[in-house]
Amino acid sequence: MSAAVVALDLPVAGMSCASCAGRVEKALTAVPGVHSASVNLASETAHVEFASPAATVLAPLVSAVEKAGYQVPQDRLALKISGMSCASCVGRVEKALAAVAGVRAASVNLASETAEVTAPRGAVDLATLLDAVKKAGYEARPFDDAATSTSAREDEAAERIARERNLALLAVLLTLPLAGGMVFELGGRHDLMLPPLWQFIIATPVQFILGWRFYKAGWGALRAGTGNMDLLVALGTTAAWGLSTWLWWRAAPDEMPHLYYEGAAAIIAFVRLGKWLEARAKGQTVSALRALMKLKPATARRRRADGSEEEVATALLQPDDRLVVRAGEAFAADGLIVEGRGSVDESMLTGESLPVEKTIGDAVHAGTLNRDGLIVARVMAVGGETTLSRIVRLVETAQASKPPIQKLVDQISAVFVPVVVLIALVTFALTLTLGGGDVEMALVHAIAVLVIACPCALGLATPAALMVGTGLAARHGILIRDAEALEVARGVTLVAFDKTGTLTEGRPVVTDIIVAPGGDQQALLLRAAALQAGSQHPLAQAIRDKVASCPLGTMDDFRDLPGRGIAGRIDGVALLFGNARLMRDEGIDMAALGPQAAALAEQGRTVSWLADADRRLALGLVGFGDEPKPQAATAIDRLKAMGIRTVMLSGDSRGAAQAVAARLGIDRVEAEVLPQDKAALITMLRKESGGAIAMVGDGINDAPALGAADVGIAMATGTDVAMQTAGITLMRGDPTLVADAIDLARATNAKIRQNLFWAFAYNVIGIPLAAFGLLNPMLAGAAMALSSVSVLSNALLLKRWRPTTRKESMA
């Protein structure tokens, strides 16, 4: 029996371009037990899937990353342990903590009753550690959780961006005197150029102190037998600095040689400036995900057994705890309401702007906001098991995945740096040969080739757009499982809808009330509702909803007639309520209402009869139907406007299915379809259409069809099976989200292609210009820095996307 595959997200620091990402992927894939590894340069994470136990494979994974020349940032989580009495207790707790997936090391101190757990940043959930200690027979609580909080990480990121900014500005300030002198020299004022000694004094710290990061990362790449952007910058600027020093050294004492110190310093200044802007933009690409992670409060109010309340860390909540949430507070865990009622704002999870009324028995979710009222909920899921945590994991997984087009980019990136170095060497050799042996000119051209190359832009083009797109989708109630689903959704030409629960409400409502001559509709409904006062049947609930505010008569002698209906006395009158079979069995005269009942049945309605049992007379009939959702017709119209055809799959009779399709404007109907035949029908439709097909459903019986479609779209109001099969999950049962999901997929893929175009264009145009001497090394460095910033800025433009409903309301 094969071991279960475990997934882990490792943070990786120190990557600067696509070749870095490729090198980390290669190193991780080479670790025994690893099935696959996917590195996201924009989020600086590696998604690794492996079959070995996490405790045995984590250390080799971290070691592989470090040997490749990068770092895995570590979190140190401190726990307070109670219940330990001896050294064997220490060993037991350490063993339990070390067995948690993602833990690299665990150390327990008996004297201080504390444990310190070391793990890659974000790889371990605190609640999981606490649960592991509890299962080992001890109690644990967070000792100091501040270091790992979201706000602490944001502070750390802000410090890193501020440091990049300060170093970039320092490099610019030091470079200005050098670049200014060059500008004056081009204008004919040679007397304003700094003396060689001062140029050397200013340029050298820029080169070897502010530029040290390029040497460090470049050397790491060389040791791993590959190259990256840092290596190109280090080679190019060192050559420019070395050439300048050599020209100065061999010049006569009173001679003013043409030096390139300003070029080397400017390249470092521009690249550092670009890295600062890139770091800022990277932070914005994950802003949507960060907003989701911050929804859950750090503390919660828990009710004790004696009825008193205490404030505890969210990580300490356990299933079955009673969570007290006042107006204006957020829920810290998933649960079921056991006391109170209120309006809950679920917009952060579902994208629905209107609050939802909640009462006893209704589910609430971590991160949602109680707008009014006092609610007490029984905790059902905590930590990583909450809906919010699962959404965050799903978004992180989607952001770590790669669309098919990225595979080609990875192949190019793997050979990009060696090819650029080769082009630089060929440029040097040809310029030296054709330029009459001018070493200086040949070296300047080669330097320009090295620094114009833009591997960073290639590496950021896809993940930057993907991170913005998937994060944006999550904020609007659309969860995208992976990049491939996004890529396929872009090309959808036909959408197949399951009818019940997807296009319709999924619950019966009273649609028709027909009474015998001389009868009264309201009286008929009141009698039917009184008969079913205690029934939980959906049809009974539909009738009670119709007369919710009216008093009902007194019922006696109630009898349940399985498969046929019910019987009883209402205010002394013997009544029957059920299907036609019950009426026939009891000898009820149905002739007067027979044609109307047949017409309703042809329309797909469920028909129930009410009869006077003593007089054997039909008093009337009630028609039930599953009405289309209010947004269904709008959803179909939007898909048509996007050039997408629609099909409805239904198990109903053709007449009933056609009636619903006609109301909604659906192009094609496939009626009387058995659940097991839906997948085969999807395959047939794909062959007929010749394009990509999306299947939208919500039930267990839709799962095979969702899997058979090019992209499955599941309603989160449906079953877990359907959501696990689908590539896209809609967090609320609104069919207009289907059009929004496809529209966002198109917008995201357009940004990916635009980014790749610009990334390739920079290199395809810039490298030849540099090779032919048409590009100054300083301008080449500026262009290289600009390439990454422009790609990220273009991806961030995707944040302006709005769902169709929002666009229309703004219009």
Q: Is the dihedral of CA 363, 366, 368, 370 positive or negative?
A: positive
Let me know if 633 is exposed, middle or buried by CB neighbors in 10 A (0-12, 13-18, 19+).
middle
> CB neighbours of 85 closer than 8 A, spacing ≥ 6?
none
Mean per-residue pLDDT of the chain: 81
Two tokens, residue 682: 């999807």
CA atoms of 463 and 481, how far apart (whole Å) = 15
Q: What is the pLDDT of residue 498?
A: 87
* Percent with pLDDT over 70 in the chain: 86
Residue 215 sits at φ, ψ, to 5 deg, of -65, -45
Residue 323 and residue 340 in contact, taking contact as beta carbons nearer than 8 Å? no
Two tokens, residue 139: 């109690």
Residue with tokens 């097991």: 676
Let me know if 670 is exposed, middle or buried by CB neighbors in 10 A (0-12, 13-18, 19+).
buried
From the list 75, 334, 482, 498, the catalytic residue is 498
Residue 168 and residue 280 in contact, taking contact as beta carbons nearer than 8 Å? no
Average pLDDT over residues 670-690: 84
CA atoms of 371 and 261, how far apart (whole Å) = 63
- 652-662 burial, b at 16+ Cβ within 10 Å, e below that, comes to beeebbbbbbe
β-pair type (45-50, 74-82):
unpaired
Q: Specify the DSSP class assigned to residue 121.
A: T
Q: Is the dihedral of CA 711, 723, 393, 137 positive or negative?
A: negative
Band (pLDDT 50/70/90 cuts) for residue 375 is very high
Residue 769 sits at φ, ψ, to 5 deg, of -60, -45
306 CB neighbour count, 10 Å cutoff:
5
Q: What is the pLDDT of residue 620?
A: 93
Q: What is the pLDDT of residue 766?
A: 87
H/E stretch holding 398? helix 387-400
Two tokens, residue 214: 């390029």
Q: What is the pLDDT of residue 179?
A: 75
* Terminal Cα-to-Cα distance of the chain (whole angstroms): 59
Q: Is the pLDDT of residue 1 over 50?
A: no
CA atoms of 41 and 49, how far apart (whole Å) = 18
Two tokens, residue 584: 């026939």
Q: Alpha-carbon dihedral of residues 196, 202, 207, 210, nearest 10 degrees?
A: 180
Q: Is the pLDDT of residue 148 over 50?
A: no
Q: What is the pLDDT of residue 206?
A: 92
Two tokens, residue 764: 């395809």
Q: What is the pLDDT of residue 287?
A: 64
H/E stretch holding 342? strand 342-345
Q: Is the pLDDT of residue 648 over 50?
A: yes
Two tokens, residue 291: 């907003």
Residue 630 and residue 503 in contact, taking contact as beta carbons nearer than 8 Å? no
Q: Specify the DSSP class assigned to residue 3.
A: P
Q: Is the pLDDT of residue 619 over 50?
A: yes
Residue 554 and residue 531 in contact, taking contact as beta carbons nearer than 8 Å? no
Q: What is the pLDDT of residue 809?
A: 43
β-pair type (299-303, 74-82):
unpaired
Q: What is the pLDDT of residue 182?
A: 60
Residue 213 carries which side chain, given as an amino acid letter? R
> Which segment, 144-148, 436-440, 525-529, 781-785, is predicted with the most confidence on average?
525-529
Two tokens, residue 86: 């001896």
CA atoms of 421 and 417, how far apart (whole Å) = 6
> CB neighbours of 614 closer than 8 A, spacing ≥ 6?
573, 574
**What's CA 579's distance to the chain center, in Å?**
49
Spatial strand order of the sheet with 617-625 comes to: 509-515, 617-625, 606-612, 573-578, 565-570, 555-561
Beta-strand runs (E) in 121-255? 139-144
Residue 689 and residue 702 in contact, taking contact as beta carbons nearer than 8 Å? no
Q: Is the pLDDT of residue 144 over 60?
A: no
Q: What is the pLDDT of residue 792?
A: 81
Residue 243 and residue 443 in contact, taking contact as beta carbons nearer than 8 Å? yes
> Which segment, 415-424, 613-622, 668-677, is predicted with the most confidence on average?
613-622
Q: What angle do CA 636, 639, 643 make, to 5 degrees?
A: 135
* Nearest to 715, CA basis, from 504, 487, 470: 504
Two tokens, residue 284: 């914005």
Q: Specify the DSSP class assigned to residue 589.
A: B
Residue with tokens 């109307």: 596
User: Between the CA of residue 530 and those of 110, 189, 612, what are the distances in Å?
Assistant: 68, 102, 14
User: Between the CA of residue 35 and those of 49, 164, 224, 373, what are the distances in Å?
Assistant: 5, 36, 22, 50
Q: What is the pLDDT of residue 302?
A: 92
Q: Is the pLDDT of residue 533 over 70?
A: yes
Residue 696 and residue 713 in contact, taking contact as beta carbons nearer than 8 Å? yes
Residue 362 and residue 378 in contact, taking contact as beta carbons nearer than 8 Å? no
Q: Where are the alpha helices (DSSP H) in 453-593?
A: 455-475, 483-490, 521-531, 538-546, 580-585
Q: Is the pLDDT of residue 75 over 90?
A: no
Side-chain half-sphere CA neighbours of 748 within 13 A: 33
H/E stretch holding 192? none
Asked if 362 is an active-site residue, the reply is no
Contacts 24+ apart (CB under 8 A), 707-715: 707/679, 708/678, 708/679, 708/680, 708/682, 708/683, 709/496, 709/682, 710/488, 710/492, 710/686, 711/485, 711/488, 711/489, 711/492, 713/738, 713/741, 715/501, 715/502
Residue 578 sits at φ, ψ, to 5 deg, of 175, -160
* Nearest to 729, CA basis, from 507, 470, 380, 494: 470
Q: Is the pLDDT of residue 721 over 80?
A: no
Convert the pLDDT of each residue in 12-51 to its tens digit.
Answer: 888 877 778 888 888 899 888 888 888 887 778 888 888 7
H/E stretch holding 17? none
User: Between the CA of residue 743 and those of 482, 496, 730, what are the distances in Å?
Assistant: 16, 17, 14
Q: What is the pLDDT of residue 641?
A: 93
CA atoms of 626 and 506, how far apart (whole Å) = 6
Average pLDDT over residues 710-729: 72
Q: Specify the DSSP class assigned to residue 333.
A: S
Q: Is the pLDDT of residue 324 over 70?
A: yes
Average pLDDT over residues 426-444: 87
* Nearest to 747, CA basis, from 701, 702, 807, 684: 807
Two tokens, residue 46: 């590696």
Picking from 577-586, 627-636, 649-658, which range would have the lowest pLDDT averaged per residue? Answer: 649-658
Band (pLDDT 50/70/90 cuts) for residue 745 is very high
β-pair type (617-625, 606-612):
antiparallel
